[in-house]
Every structure is written in structure tokens, then in C-alpha cells.
Structure 1
Amino acid sequence: MSVKSNLDKLKNQIGIKRCVILEGNVNDIYQTNSGYVGLKDRLFGLLREKGFNDIFMWDRIDGLSGGNLKNLTLTVETQQKSKEGEAYDFGQEVIKNANEEKNGPTGKFPTLAEFFTIVRRNMLVASSKKAAFIADFSDYLFSNEQTLSEEERVNLISLSKAFRDKKFDQSEIIDFDTAIIFITNSVGKLPTSFYLHNPDVTTITLTKPNREEREKFILTNKNFFKITEDLNTDILKLQDIYDTMEGWTLKEVYQLIKFSNNISERLPFEKLLNSYQYGDKVSPWEEMNYEKLATIEKELKKRVIGQDHAIEKVKNVVYKAFTGLSGVQYSSKRTKPKGTLFFVGPTGVGKTELAKALAKFLFGDEKNCIRFDMSEYNQEASDQKLIGAPPGYVGYEEGGQLTNAIKEKPFSVLLFDEIEKSHPRILDKFLQILEDGRLTDNKGQTVTFSDSFIIFTSNIGASEVDDNLSFLEIEKQFIQKVSDHFRTELKRPELLGRIGNNIIPFNFIKDINFKAKLITQKLQPIQTAVWEKYKIKLEFLELPQILPIIIHDADDKKGGRDLLNSIEKHVVDGLSSFIFANQTKFKAGETILAQANGHQIEYCFK
């Protein structure tokens, strides 16, 4: 739906409905026949077109302004008694006549009671002149619905009576009525008892501009864009800008254009956007080059052993991201994540390690791999942990863990570990990320994932797939298990469609040579740690005799993780005991020898 259709709906219903609550994108700029204006001017023009004689804007700072006060009925003839017999003044003393305006410290009739009294009197009086009242910043009119004060309740009754007490007269069917518009960011800021099941009140949500409206605004202002591309001739770049700014308000588009006019040099659009959103951060994607990408397979294999097929698939996805062809067969949007991968396989075979290695390669630091343990998101309301709790709930101020993470590190690998353990409701958020590349947090701020890599990991099928099969058969079975899980168990085939052919099975760790390579690789950090802390060398004598000791104690079903447990048991535990017992004896530069003795590893000085 477009902003124009929202405003057309408002024009149609105002005066038919006594009250319109206008929520949503109320802080934007809006198109008119003569250009773009703020909401106040847009509403004034719309209400004049409708035929309202006087239009008044009210807020708690400036009070009542806009129309001619002399045309209003400003006196009240009756009072209403409270239960205790104390009079609630509904406006008798508001103003005696049109020449005695009551001024508050900040404007005319600044209190809500005064304003509602005036609205009520003019709704009830029979007059050929129709007035429209606009209550701005309505988010701040009432406290929480459960803690409304007596004064607030009286104010609500005052206005509600104006709607209900209006005499029904069929002769007025060709006329429209005096009406009020409440402007608020969210209808939830107003008490539900005021508008729920009330035929005199309607809520209209102003959406963000659709693509056509964004295009029109950008085309109108393209010559003000100070970028290196010529938008008069570069149609593809224009299309790219339209896609990139999906979900933006027109005011946000204008602010980017304004930013382009306030920097010292013209930049390509991508660099301009990056500078605007992230400050001085340099995009790793802009620094990526052919020479570096040519080494990706080699670099990843240094960290992950025995999963060459998975590395090959990851390499191809990165190539598509680099060439700008990732997902173009589905959509021309440039807002989607750079890549989406689904790692599936037994535990401890390198899924998490490959994600960290990819983050290190792409972004220079494996800390840019942000891991989410999805077993912690297994409750129905767990999506609030990702995007933040709603206003009024515990945790609102902290925001969402995912949205906060992407704000802090937009260039990152987002690792959602063991996705099958999360609550199905969480999947709706992932569907939005994969399709639109954005999420809106609990405070209404939109975060984008267009510079990130999304990786899901899963053990689906690991206990059912026969590890004695060939890898081709293992691969086929894992892909089938994942497909069945999404289609049959979760009944979410659309999410499977977003992942596409990027389900990447990892092989079981069975091969002795593979295990030996993995152990040898993991022994190197131990040697480095001993040298850095004690300036002592650690040397493994006759490694082929040491390796079987470690391998024998590891369970194949637990993958590489149990090899690490075995290394800790047979290497680290004994080494730490030896160092502790000889701490007063060794000197910097000495060498500790590790050697096999039967079924254990012993240590001595060289």
C-alpha cells in the first residue's frame, strides 16, 4: 500500500468518522501537487480539499493554533458531577467569548482538558461550519492504560461523550461532521478503551513510501545527488539506488542527499552510503580484490581439514557475492545478505570453525563471526531476545541481541548454531532477513544485513545417516533430512526456498589420515602457547607413535570435538603437570620433549 492511498483513505473517512487515529510513518515528508511538505501542511491541504471551514492544530507546547478561534463555540452551559458531588468543570470557564482567549504559559489552551472541552462543544453544537482538530504528539497525552489518573479518565469521557451524545439526524446525511485527528507513532500509545469497538473511531496506518513513491522522489531530486555516477545516464545505478533504499522514508532519502552535499568530495554511491551509515569504517567488500579472493580456498583449508567439498561450496558463494550476482535470479534487490549458507553434519566436524575462518578471511578478524546458540531461543517469545522487548516490558532499553550486534558490526558472519533447537516462531524473523535483508528492532529502528554473511548450522540427521556410506550418499541423505525437516516437521518450505542450493553437508571424521592431520594442526597452538608464556620449546618426538594414543581414545560419533578432548587428556593434562612440577628448574630456551611410552605420553627435558 502506498502513502497516497493511506492519505486518500483519511480524506474519505474524516468527517464520516468523528475521530481518526493516524499512526506509523508520521514524521516523514509527503507529496503534494506543488512539491513535498511535512505532515501538518499535508493534512491542512487535505482537510481544506474536504471542505472543512476551520482547521486547528493542538499540542501541549503551542496550544491551539491554525484556524479562527472566533468561529468556535467556546463556552459550556452545564457541568457534570462526580460521585462525591464535586463538580468536574468541562469548560464553563474556558473562555467567556471569542475575544477573551485563555492563554497558558506556552500557548492558547495548552491543557488537554481545555482542548477536549473545545472539541466536545464544537462537535455537539449544530452549525453549518465544520471544524477539524489535529492533536499532535499524541504519544505523550496519556500514561500507561493500567495507571490512568482520574483526570485522564475524565478527559477521555469528555471526548467520548462528544462522539456518543451527538443527536442522530438523518437530514444531516449529506453533511460531514466536525472531527478530530490524533497523530501518534503507534496507536498503542493511546488507551485501547478509547478506540476499541468504537464505530466513531478509526485507525489509519501511514506506511513507508513504496518503490514507486521512492523512485519519484529520487528522480525529482537526482540532480542534487553529489556522487560520481551520472544519474541522468546511468539507469542501472538508479535502479540500484531504488533497491538499496527499500524501507527508507523520503526524509531519510533526503538526508542522504543532503549528506552528499556536505562532504568534501564526490564519492561513488556505495562509498557514500557506507560513509553515511558507518562513519569512517572502510567496507571490506570494497577492499576485496581478485588476488585475495584467489587464495580463499587455500586459506580456509589451513583452518578446516577434511571438508574440501564444503570449502568449495563456500568459495563459490563468496565469488557470487564479490561479482554482485548473489541471488539475482530471484530478485534485483541489493539489500539481501551477501550470502546464506546452511551447514549440516555431525558434531565436531568443522562447521563452526569454517564460519570463523570465513569471518577471518572476509573481515580480518574471527571476532566478526557473531555466534548465536539457538538452544537459548526455544521459547515462544524468544524473538524478543533477537529484536528487543516491546515498550513497557523488561529488557526494552537493552534492545535486541541480533539487532544490536549488526549495528555494532555490520560487516560480519552471523552464525546461528543448531538452528533446529530454536522456537519455530523465530523462523519468521529469518525469513524476513533472507528475503528483505532488514529487521526493525523494538524501538522502530531498521537494521540491514546487506553487508553480512548468514550461516545456519544443524545436526539434523546426524544420528540417522550411516557414516559407512560414500560421501556422495551421505551428502544426499543429509540434504534430504534437512528438506524433510523444513517441509514436514516445521511446515516452512518457504524458508527452505530462501536457502536454495546452499545446504552444505559435512562429512564424518573416519579416515585415519584425516584425524592425524587434524591432531597435528591442533598441537601447534599448544607449542605456541608454551613458547609465549615460558620461552620454552615443546617438541613431539616420533609423532607417528603419539598420534594413535590420541586417536584411540576419541569417539568417532563425536567427531573432531572428541579428538580435542583426547588431546586435552593425553597432552595438555600431562604437560601442565610436568611444567608445574619443574617450574623452578627450567630456564628460557630449553626444550621439553614429548614421547610415547606404551599407551601414554611422557615429558622430559632435552
Structure 2
Amino acid sequence: MSTEDMRAPEGIPTTAGPPFVREFEATLPVHSQFVLWGNRHDSFLVRESDSARPRLLSLPDLLWETLRGSGYAFLLVHDPVDGLRVHLPAGATAEESDRAEEAASRLLPRRPRPGSLPSLETLRALMAELARPAQPVRAALAIDDASRIARSAGELEPSERDFFRFCARLSRTAVPVGAQSGRTTPLYNPVIWLADREGDLPAWLTSSNDQIRSIGLPVPDLGDRQATARLLMKLFGVTDLDSDLPATEACEAFAAQTDGLTLQAMIEITRLARDRRLTMTELPDAIRIYKLGVMDNPWKREYLRKRITDGQHSIPQRVVGQPQAVTKTLDILKRAALGLSGAQQSRSSDRPRGVLFFAGPTGVGKTELAKAVSSLIFADESAYLRFDMSEFSAEHAGDRLIGAPPGYVGFEAGGELTNAVRQQPFRVILFDEIEKAHPRILDKFLQILEDGRLTDGRGSTVHFSESVLVFTSNLGTEVEDDGGRPVTNVHPDMPYEEIEARMKAAIGDHFTRVLGRPELLNRFGDNIVVFNFIDRAAAARIFGLQLDNIVSRVHEEQGIVLEVEPEVRAALQKSCTDNPRMGGRGIGMALESQFVNPLARALFDRDPAAGAHVRVTALRREGDIVSVELA
């Protein structure tokens, strides 16, 4: 091969475009068809020289400029909406348009008229003329939205199967075309399939076929986002970014906060900011609106700081006997309210606003504290969403969270978790008894905890950056001995510091040794909040609150003023709080069986009128049957 053959073609230099287009350009001599799949609707950054300003091009424009630089006369594009057309960028001159149309008419004299929707049979004939040209003219055909050609890549109709069989054979019989100048090496006139996913085309079309090259189009990296952010800053009146420190910082933050988004999304976010009259320093608000689709941000409400401050007094009244757990939870919420979650990272983080792992014995207030957090932050307990992870013990149950994959029953419905967060991004999400979930389902939380986003079964991205995630677990209350038998690990007589140390050690052992998921444990970090057993004083307070709730409910439902004599109250308290291991839930269960049930029986038999004053004067036990005496 001569030196002339190796030089870079005119048009876009081989080092200017994204890696995938450089791969495409370099392999034109050896592949007759290409499958470009993935991020095909994005804008793509082209750096033509160190001194020139980078440009943003659509995929068809990028392909055409690359092909033109390699000596191609025109790019034909077919899509199911606009039909067949010769593609030219928006700024093309009339001369360029006439030259491309003339070349297309010369090479493909029987091509359908522009804008028509050719059948698969007509498209086959067109591809054949292009792949084995009668004249030495270089041209390419891009089939846009190729994912929609077949109803199902795995279940082709006869006409679809015949079409793709023809395409597979054509890829092997295509003839490369030489040129008199420029890039004189023979190059194929390629068919370029533009698809959403690689699997949208039949697998047998590309498998074991060296003539068809599959190239993925990834989302842009940080470098591309930084360059794009610098381009977009001029919309805010910034002309010399290098000498404007606030603009430089805003630019860097913009690039970091759009991790996972496309360059086109960055353009749309900038337009949104301009429409909302936001400054460049307020771009994070525009990003949030773009991702979540909501204007109001509860985390920035003026009264939030006061609510959290008040919560230091109100939550201990609601979650009794857990001062350490309440204090640590409020510390994490303060950090979230100030936007300092993940502040130790070198770049801006889209992680959830708060992550809490509540560990402790049953009935000590873990779920109640999660509800209290929801009420405190969002002033609405309906923002609390609970998943009982014991229902997700089977691997396939994970489809309930994010939705079934394409082709499976229920695919259109989406997932319970992703749908709920998409509808209301500001939530407290409780995953109760997380240790009962299948390990494969736990893997789904890795992306949420690290990146604050999750892709559902329909391919849509759901953002958790404004949510608080709460995981609860009984891990550590029991451990296995050397024989694999469960033994008690903590008990009520231990000091809290020892309970905390033992529980955390057991949780760490479970995630690392049993599950083999140390990376998930690392995502929780120091957000593991250990709850203590309910002591006698706390049990008495819980009993008093629950008994008062019963008295209030009788008045609300029946209009009866109920009074419980001190002797009855004391006897009930002693019998309902004698087992601290059962926690607050155990107290409630004991109250229901020993007081609510006999009270309901007595009220039902007596049937007092609304407004009556009824006193409970005594409890009577006959075996397992408890009765109350009313006066």
C-alpha cells in the first residue's frame, strides 16, 4: 500500500470524531455492512483541530461527513417515517445537493422517488444495486430505525425472514469500489443498520459473519461532556471561559452532574434553563427538572431545617427508647438536607439523598422511624413506600421491581418500584427485611446506591437522587454456631455499645461470607443504624401510648368516654411488658389479646349509648380467657 493510500481522507480527520466513527471509517475496506446500535439519537462531538471550536453533529450528519472524507458521493437514508432520501446536512449548498442527487440518479436510476416508503422487496433491489454497483461510484445506505423492521427478531414473519436472509447473503457477495483520487483503496458501499439494541436484528444475521461489523454507540464520557459544557456556556453570555472562574466551575459541575446523560440531553437542559431564566450557576435545578420532571424541590423548602430541628424532639416521642438510632438518623437527614451526601467524592454525585440501614431486634421501631422520616421530610406519610423483601426470595420476583424484560408477560406495565419513583421522585422507600431477598435482586441496589439511577425493563432510566432509601434487617440478632445451628447473638442485658458492635460484625459477615456481596456492604458504609432492645422504661411508655390510643379509638368510633382504673392499668402493664425481646409490636399484640378483645366483647354485650361514660374496673382471668368488668 502506498503512502498516499494511508493518509487521512478529506473531511473529518480520523482522530476527530468519537471512537466508534473512527472504527467505522477504518473498517470500510473490510466490511460491507455495519450495525450501529445504542445511543443513536444523540449529538456527537467532533474536534477537528486544537484551535477550532468543537462541533456537535447528529448521527446522519456525522456519518455523511465521514463518508464524504473517504470519497463517497452520497448517503442514502431510509426510515419508516420520511421514507427514502439523499441525506445532506442543514447547511448544505444547492450545488452540493444537486451533485449528490445527480450521483444517486446515475448509480441508482430505478430508485424510488424521494420520500416514498419502499417495500422490503424494493429495498432488496436497491441494496443489491448499491452493493454491486454498475458504475464506480461510492455510496452508502443507512437504514434508520432498523429495530422496527421486524415485529420480533426472534419470531420473523416469512417476508421478514426472506429479507434478512437476502441481506446476509448480500453482505458476502458485495463488491468493493475503488477511486481515482483521495482514498484509492477499494471500499465497500456499506449498508448501515441503525438500531436501538444489537439484539433487535436477528442474531443469525451477524453471528459468524465477518462481513457485518457490530459497533456500539456509548453514552458520552466525562471529556465529551466537559467539551460540550464549554460550548453551551456561550448561551449564558460567557465568551472567555478560561478567564472566568465562576463560569469554569459551573461548567465543570454541569459536566459532572450530567453523568449518564447524552450530549443532546445537555443541550435540552441548557434550553430549559434559558426558558426558566436560570443562570449558569442554577443549572443543577435545570438538571433536576429535566431528570425528574418536577419544579418543586422539598429538599430546598425553607421550613425543612426547622422541621428537622423540631424532629429532634418529636421523633423520640414517636420512636421510644432508641436515642442512639434517632440521633444518627437525624444526622444523616441533616447531611441530606444540606446536599452533603457523597460530598467526599471528587465529583458531584447523583446518589440518593439519604441511605439508612436499620438493624435490630423485631418490634423496636425500625419501620416506625422510616415512617417518621417520611412525615418529617416530605410532610406526608404517603410519600413512604414499603416493599416486604420476603416476597422477593425468588430470583424472578425482581421483575416486580423494575418490570419484565421485553417479550415477557407484563412488559408494558413496568415495575412497581420504578413506576412509583418516576411518578413521585421525592420518597422514603423502605425495603423491609432485606436479608430475605434473593441475592440476584440485591445486585439491583448496587446501581441505585452508587449512581442513583436504575434502568427498568422498558429501557427507561429512573432517578433516585431525591429519594431516601431505608433498609431494615434482623441480621445479627442470631448467628450460626459451628454446627450451623442458630444461637442468640445479642440480648437485652447487654450494653448498647456491645449490641452495636456485635450486630455490625454479623451484618458484615453475612454480606461478605454468606452472600459474597462485600461491594453492597461498602455502599451502605457508616449508614448502618443499630437499634437497641426495648428496656423497661421504654416498654412502659410504649404501653401507655398504645393504651391511650385504644381509649381514643373507642371515643372516635363509638362516642364512649372510656376510663381505665389505675389498678387495671398497672396489671395490664405488668403482663404486657414482661417480655422485652418482643419489643413494641409484642406489647401491642398482648394488649389486643388481653384488653381489646375482652373490652370489645363487654361493650358489644352492654351496648352503651353514645356519650356514655364507662369505667373498666377489673380484669378477670379464667384459664386463657380474659374478661373485663365495666361500671
Report the TM range for the smaller structure's normalisation.
0.7 to 0.9
Corresponding position of 1:481: 506
2:64 to 26, 30, 44: 44
* Alpha-carbon shift at residue 166 of structure 1 (Å): 4.4
Are the aligned partners of 1:299 and 1:361 in contact in 2 as well (CA < 8 Å)? no
Are the aligned partners of 2:143 and 2:193 in contact in 1 as well (CA < 8 Å)? yes
C-alpha distance after superposition, 1:499-553 (max 9, x if no partner): 11121211223x222211111112232223222222222222203233113234x
Q: How does 1:489-508 map to 2 (within 5 A)?
A: 489-508=514-533
Identity of aligned residues (%): 31
Paired with 1:356 and 1:226, the residues of 2 have a C-alpha distance of: 46
* Alpha-carbon shift at residue 276 of structure 1 (Å): 4.8
* Alpha-carbon shift at residue 591 of structure 1 (Å): 2.5
Pair 1:348 & 2:372 matched: no
Change (3 A) 1:193 1:570: same
One-letter identity of the residue aligned with 2:62: R
Q: How does 1:257-296 map to 2 (within 5 A)?
A: 257-263=270-276, 268-277=282-291, 282-287=296-301, 288-296=303-311
TM-score when scaled to structure 2? 0.84
Change (3 A) 1:565 1:290: same
Are the aligned partners of 1:28 and 1:250 in contact in 2 as well (CA < 8 Å)? yes
Are the aligned partners of 1:123 and 1:162 in contact in 2 as well (CA < 8 Å)? yes
Corresponding position of 1:233: 246
C-alpha distance after superposition, 1:538-583 (max 9, x if no partner): 222203233113234xx54433222111111122212222332233
1:24 to 18, 34, 38: 38
* Alpha-carbon shift at residue 192 of structure 1 (Å): 1.2
* Alpha-carbon shift at residue 232 of structure 1 (Å): 6.2
Paired with 2:259 and 2:348, the residues of 1 have a C-alpha distance of: 9
2:220 to 181, 198, 209: 209
Are the aligned partners of 1:60 and 1:110 in contact in 2 as well (CA < 8 Å)? no
Change (3 A) 1:280 1:136: closer
Paired with 1:276 and 1:154, the residues of 2 have a C-alpha distance of: 43
SS in 1 for 2:357: strand
Paired with 1:360 and 1:151, the residues of 2 have a C-alpha distance of: 59
Q: How does 1:115-154 map to 2 (within 5 A)?
A: 115-125=123-133, 128-154=136-162
Change (3 A) 1:130 1:535: same
Change (3 A) 1:260 1:560: same
* Alpha-carbon shift at residue 390 of structure 1 (Å): 1.3
2:604 to 576, 580, 586: 580
* Alpha-carbon shift at residue 337 of structure 1 (Å): 0.8
Corresponding position of 1:165: 173
Pair 1:546 & 2:572 matched: yes
Paired with 2:69 and 2:629, the residues of 1 have a C-alpha distance of: 92
Paired with 1:224 and 1:517, the residues of 2 have a C-alpha distance of: 61
Q: How does 1:405-554 map to 2 (within 5 A)?
A: 405-463=420-478, 464-467=488-491, 468-509=493-534, 511-542=535-566, 543-552=569-578
SS in 1 for 2:34: strand
Corresponding position of 1:156: 164
* Alpha-carbon shift at residue 335 of structure 1 (Å): 0.7
* Alpha-carbon shift at residue 430 of structure 1 (Å): 0.8
* Alpha-carbon shift at residue 235 of structure 1 (Å): 4.5
2:583 to 559, 567, 581: 559
The unaligned stretches of length 5 or more in structure 2 are 1-15, 49-53, 88-99, 479-487
Are the aligned partners of 1:336 and 1:450 in contact in 2 as well (CA < 8 Å)? yes
Corresponding position of 1:94: none
Structure 1 stretches of 4+ with a deviation exceeding 6 A read 167-173, 264-267
Paired with 2:429 and 2:313, the residues of 1 have a C-alpha distance of: 22
Are the aligned partners of 1:209 and 1:249 in contact in 2 as well (CA < 8 Å)? yes
Paired with 1:597 and 1:386, the residues of 2 have a C-alpha distance of: 48
Paired with 1:256 and 1:413, the residues of 2 have a C-alpha distance of: 27
Higher mean displacement: 215-224 or 182-191: 215-224
Higher mean displacement: 370-379 or 230-239: 230-239
SS in 1 for 2:462: strand
Paired with 1:408 and 1:422, the residues of 2 have a C-alpha distance of: 25
* Alpha-carbon shift at residue 331 of structure 1 (Å): 4.4
1:364 to 367, 379, 382: 379
Pair 1:597 & 2:619 matched: yes
* Alpha-carbon shift at residue 152 of structure 1 (Å): 1.4
Corresponding position of 2:260: 247
One-letter identity of the residue aligned with 1:452: S
Change (3 A) 1:420 1:128: same
C-alpha distance after superposition, 1:484-507 (max 9, x if no partner): 011111111111111111212112
The unaligned stretches of length 5 or more in structure 1 are 75-96
C-alpha distance after superposition, 1:141-169 (max 9, x if no partner): 11213432221122112221212234799
* Alpha-carbon shift at residue 277 of structure 1 (Å): 5.0
Are the aligned partners of 1:60 and 1:111 in contact in 2 as well (CA < 8 Å)? no
Paired with 1:61 and 1:270, the residues of 2 have a C-alpha distance of: 36
* Alpha-carbon shift at residue 353 of structure 1 (Å): 0.9
One-letter identity of the residue aligned with 2:219: K
Are the aligned partners of 2:29 and 2:185 in contact in 1 as well (CA < 8 Å)? no
Pair 1:339 & 2:366 matched: no
* Alpha-carbon shift at residue 432 of structure 1 (Å): 0.8
Change (3 A) 1:177 1:382: same
One-letter identity of the residue aligned with 1:25: N
SS in 2 for 1:145: coil
Change (3 A) 1:409 1:579: farther
Pair 1:180 & 2:203 matched: no
Change (3 A) 1:235 1:318: farther
Paired with 2:152 and 2:583, the residues of 1 have a C-alpha distance of: 54
* Alpha-carbon shift at residue 450 of structure 1 (Å): 1.1
Paired with 1:173 and 1:51, the residues of 2 have a C-alpha distance of: 8
SS in 2 for 1:16: coil
